[in-house]
Amino acid sequence: MQSVNDYYSAIQLRSDRWSSLREATGALGRDPQGKKADALRSQIEELFTSLALIERYWAFPGMQAFDHLRRQFEHGNLDDLAFGVHRVTRALTTGAYRRRHIPLDRESAEVDDHEDEAMLSPEARALTKPYFEVMIVDDLNEHQERWLKTNVGRMRRFEDPFMYETVIVPSLEDALIGILFNHNVQAVVVRPGLRLKSGVDLPILKRYLNRVGGAEGLEGLKPENFGAELCRLIASVRPELDAYLVTDRSVEEIAGLDLGICRRVFYNQEDFQELHLNILRGVQSRYKTPFFTALVEYSKQPTGVFHAMPISRGKSISRSHWIQDMGAFYGPNIFMAETSATSGGLDSLLEPHGPIKKAQELAARAFGSKQTFFATNGTSTCNKIVVQALVRPGDIVLVDRDCHKSHHYGMVLAGAQVVYLDSYPLNDYSMYGAVPLREIKHQLLALKAAGKLDQVRMLLLTNCTFDGVVYNVERVMEECLAIKPDLIFLWDEAWFAFARFGPTYRQRTGMNAANVLRERLKSPEHAKAYEKQAGKLKDADDEKLLMTRLVPPPDARVRVYTTQSTHKTLTSLRQGSMIHVNDQDFKGEVEQSFHEAYMTHTSTSPNYQIIASLDVGRRQVELEGFEFVQRQVEAAMSMRKAISTHPLLQKYFKVLTAGDMIPDAYRESGVESYYDPHQGWTDIWECWEKDEFVLDATRVTLAVGGTGWDGDTFKTQILMDKYGIQINKTSRNTVLFMTNIGTTRSSVAYLIEVLVEIAKELDDRLDDASNMERRAFEHRVKALMEDLPPLPDFSRFHDAFRSDKVTIEGDIRTAFFLSYDEKNCDYLDLHGSINEAMASGREVVSASFIIPYPPGFPILVPGQVVSAEILAFMRALDVNEIHGYRADLGLRVFTDEALAQRMGTKLPEAAE
């Protein structure tokens, strides 16, 4: 049996234990007197013991059935045992237990076995009632437990929209373990008899308790408060769940408590009917999809189309002689749901009052925002909307320089004064990390010293970065607010929509941090902490402020925006994105300008299918986001483990760890790697709570320089052309494998197989290589892994685009439009004339965005001075795609005349 440390999660442990039990009981059943029988018996014994700790948190097969299997083993009914275990394991794998009762004895099973779950059509599956589990928390004896289950079970009716089963756990701790372990739980019923402590002593389960700050905080809790405290704690780890508190305390006492996500308080313990109806209604409120449902309804109505869209109802296709294949490929429903109507039960995205408005409100609840807006043209557009809504011409915005290009264009459109922030470089892998908090504070303090803090409007950062570096969002906001208490934050979470649904990840999302901060700033403890620090820092210099963890004033405003490409990490059609708002001043100050910005960028014919898919994607995450994100992290972790422990793969590849991608100074926890071949898994909770930066484990960066291929060649010529594996991002010597909520264990297995095959081929090739060939290979590897051009910092804006020389902000808009006039621009050859120009002392200033792929962000923006480092980097880049640069013409730069004119000065030579 593998040790518990070999498992990243208890879910994997559970499924592995059941498979082992199936194999062992099967083998023993086939040969009960064989040589291995004794060993098998003790293995089965151990597996039963270990599963007994785990199964109490799950409704299927349930402790009763589990104990029955165990008794069969003890009584030597080996055939029946093997049969029963086989049925359980199979039902767990196929999910059949979600759809029907699974009999474990032979006679009933024979009647039942007609249905092969894998063969169910999608239509048939859509007709089955969704299943979930309700966790009841009460310390009961066996008899009481049976009584309770029977009573709840009796409430079921044929017309119920969902099916559920109950799991009973005795204590507050067990309930917390249960909801973090059992993803089937959708509702928790907390009864007055619960106790505090769990009797379970399995570290992999106990670890879950760290998610709520450990058990220490609970020690002094009075028993009458266990229930309310549990409701509050559930809200902090799985806010999407419904809790019901059954209590015998008075209404007045209960009213004064924080009950977290409690939907209802019951004073009558045995009102099962009410409880049942409430549980169903709670799940229904997450299940409903106002816009998707409206669109389905609309598509069924008979209508005559007398406005735009000949494709509506498929009319232009069905009458066609030439495009029938399109109709056949997509099927009829998509065209039935295509319409330009905004009435008849539908709604307008630009002025929503009906189902789109409702769908957006539900999304706000799911993602923890105060307002949510859907977008049908990606986060590229969302970013421009938010920037335009909030930034006035001349406002100063601090932006990470390696942000997505939509932000740079957003800055141009808004006329912002841009302070570009440098991320720490990862020269060994030719990629950037993220912007250290010290650098952000440093720029804010410089602006403060220059008397420009009033002009500063927004801090804009990418979280997480493409490569998976994640900020400590809460800390960044706290410390920045301590310097500028009304600063607005835009977190580009294009890659991070899923994070809300994993408790570890959630704490580093903009919306969660905003909600935490809003609460914290109101608290008396915070006011005290602030006063204390303010006294200490009264005469502090900048260095002291940079070294101190700053506390924001209690009256700081929490103003947070996030933009998410739902389509990148969750279920949504391409381009489906959301803007989430958690801004205390939105209603008073922003609503109108937000509306204008939204109108500026949104099509008057937004795609209904995209909106419907956002609505359904929201339903999914509210009901199974927790499970899917957990599985995704598991898949990524098993990929990390498989690659880093395979001896052949280690020769040519390396999975980059947190230690590789985040310098020590930003990893206070000291955690280097989430998996260590000797120590097993690290619980990532601790570093996610503390460190300045952490690594999103679902993105696996693989260094491939050891193969002698650069990242781009490895991607296109090896992975894509030879094996049909698609990836997106590469650097000079790495490729990035992104997992998502659709990643399966088999797709991970296939990738590993492919990597092993590539490594074997390389091995063979090197075996047969001549000395010369081998030397050439080593040379290539060295060039890729060691001789890397250092990544350049942002140089500076030319004085023509700066208001002074005190702080570094620049007017990117003026530079951008100055280049529209061709006579202001010139071209310099990267390998010739530019050298002469720079050698002669001329300041060469870029007139365009220059964006090489990879890394995919501008290494030059309009108005930026070209430095020797940038030039060296451009020359060393061996990528095919450099947007904004034309090799036949050269680098587009401003003429000296244009710059001089901007500055209102004459050229030095002209002045003579």
Ligand X SMILES: Cc1ncc(COP(=O)(O)O)c(C=O)c1O
Spell out, one character per residue from 527 to 566, where the chain touches ligand X: x when CB under 6 A holds, - when not: --------------------------------------x-
Q: Give me the torsion for CA of 370, 372, 378, 379, rounded to 10°.
A: -10
Which residue carries 């879950």 as its tokens?
208
Q: Which of 406, 515, 613, 743 binds ligand X (CB under 6 A)?
A: 406
Q: Which residues contact 438 (CB under 8 A, 6 or more apart)?
A: 546
404 binds ligand X (CB under 6 A): yes
Q: Are 681 and 7 in contact (CB under 8 A)?
A: yes
Q: Are 791 and 425 in contact (CB under 8 A)?
A: yes
Q: Which of 171, 182, 462, 846 binds ligand X (CB under 6 A)?
A: 462
Please, which residue, 400 or 811, has the CB nearer to ligand X? 400
Strands 163-169 and 185-190: unpaired
Q: Give me the torsion for CA of 874, 878, 883, 888, rounded to 10°.
A: 80
Q: Give me the torsion for CA of 85, 208, 464, 571, rounded to 10°.
A: 40
Please, which residue, 212 or 859, has the CB nearer to ligand X? 859
Q: Are 133 and 185 in contact (CB under 8 A)?
A: yes
Spell out, one character per residue from 493 to 532, where the chain touches ligand X: x when CB under 6 A holds, - when not: -x--------------------------------------
Q: Which of 492, 583, 692, 696 binds ligand X (CB under 6 A)?
A: 492
Count, residues in the chain: 912
Q: Nearest Cα to 115, choosing from 130, 98, 132?
A: 98
> Given the rule CB under 6 A, which of 378-386, 506-514, 795-803, 832-840 is the region that contacts ligand X?
378-386
Please, which residue, 430 or 673, has the CB nearer to ligand X? 430
Q: Which residues of 722-735 are buried (b: 16+ CB within 10 A; e: fewer)?
A: eeebebebbbbbbb
- The nearest distance, CB 375 to ligand X, in angstroms, is 8
Please, which residue, 505 or 675, has the CB nearer to ligand X? 505
Total residues interacting with ligand X, rule: CB under 6 A: 11
Please, which residue, 10 or 578, has the CB nearer to ligand X? 578
Which residue carries 């570096």 as its tokens?
469
DSSP 743-790: --HHHHHHHHHHHHHHHHHHHHHHHT--HHHHHHHHHHHHHHHT-PPP
> Given the rule CB under 6 A, which of 34-42, 376-384, 615-623, 692-700 is the region that contacts ligand X?
376-384
**Token pair recorded at residue 737:** 């494998």
Residue 431 sits at φ, ψ, to 5 deg, of -145, 165
Interaction with ligand X in 697-716: which residues (CB under 6 A)?
none
Q: Which of 25, 379, 707, 848 binds ligand X (CB under 6 A)?
A: 379
Residue 436 DSSP SS3: coil
Please, which residue, 406 or 730, has the CB nearer to ligand X? 406
380 binds ligand X (CB under 6 A): yes
> Whose CB is nearest to ligand X?
378
858 binds ligand X (CB under 6 A): no
Q: What span, in angstroms and rounded, lies between the C-alpha atoms of 287 and 894?
A: 57
**Token pair recorded at residue 843:** 């300041």
> Given the rule CB under 6 A, which of 38-46, 107-115, 373-381, 479-487 is the region that contacts ligand X?
373-381
Q: What span, in angstroms and rounded, lies between the C-alpha atoms of 278 and 271?
A: 11
Residue 860 DSSP SS3: strand
- The nearest distance, CB 815 to ligand X, in angstroms, is 23
467 binds ligand X (CB under 6 A): no
Please, which residue, 360 or 707, has the CB nearer to ligand X? 360
- The nearest distance, CB 567 to ligand X, in angstroms, is 6
Q: Which of 61, 239, 378, 503 binds ligand X (CB under 6 A)?
A: 378
Q: What span, in angstroms and rounded, lies between the C-alpha atoms of 872 and 427?
A: 14
Please, which residue, 406 or 848, has the CB nearer to ligand X? 406
466 binds ligand X (CB under 6 A): yes
Q: What is the DSSP letter of 171?
A: B
- The nearest distance, CB 576 to ligand X, in angstroms, is 8
- The nearest distance, CB 141 to ligand X, in angstroms, is 55
DSSP 493-516: -TT-GGGGGSHHHHTTSHHHHHHH
**Token pair recorded at residue 864:** 């930026």
- The nearest distance, CB 719 to ligand X, in angstroms, is 19
Please, which residue, 750 or 853, has the CB nearer to ligand X? 853
Please, which residue, 238 or 601, has the CB nearer to ligand X? 601
- The nearest distance, CB 473 to ligand X, in angstroms, is 15
The letter for the amino acid at 582 is N
- The nearest distance, CB 416 to ligand X, in angstroms, is 17
Q: What is the DSSP letter of 719?
A: I
Q: What span, in angstroms and rounded, lies between the C-alpha atoms of 436 and 445?
A: 15
> Given the rule CB under 6 A, which of 41-49, 372-380, 501-509, 706-714 is the region that contacts ligand X?
372-380
Please, which residue, 416 or 490, has the CB nearer to ligand X? 490
Interaction with ligand X in 24-43: which residues (CB under 6 A)?
none
- The nearest distance, CB 565 to ligand X, in angstroms, is 4
The binding site for ligand X (CB under 6 A) comprises 378-380, 404, 406, 462, 466, 492, 494, 565, 577
